[in-house]
Amino acid sequence: MAKGFKVFVGLAALAGAAAALFTLKKRKEMEEYDYEEFDDDDCCECCDECEDTADVTEEAIEEASAEAEKKVEEGVESVEEALDKIEEAVEDTDK
């Protein structure tokens, strides 16, 4: 039983060492990687088109948000009206 435990601990140590080496290798690759190719200045040839699309999307989101806010306010008013009717019905029943 003790021999099996020693084998297990040895395998776990080997796995830990392999993971540490793999991590160090990946870290070194990331440090040496050339990130300048993803520079925002030259992201693509259609930047104006991308910016226009972003502006249109932002406007659409704002309009949808305003419409949703109106609907919520209308819903709150109708809920308040319904609660008032229920309250009146309860008061009439209590009399």
Q: Residues 16-57: pLDDT tens digits?
A: 888 888 888 888 888 777 766 665 555 555 666 677 777 788
Whether residue 50 contacts residue 44, with contact meaning beta carbons closer than 8 Å, is answered with yes
Q: What residue numbers bound the domain in which 6 lies?
A: 2-69
Domain total in the chain: 1
Least confident of 13-17, 53-57, 63-67: 53-57
Q: What is the pTM of this model?
A: 0.36
What integer is the mean pLDDT of 63-87?
A: 78
Higher pLDDT, 44 or 78: 78
Average pLDDT over the chain, rounded to whole?
77
Amino acid sitting at position 83: L
Residues present in the chain in total:
95
In a domain, 11, yes or no: yes
In a domain, 81, yes or no: no
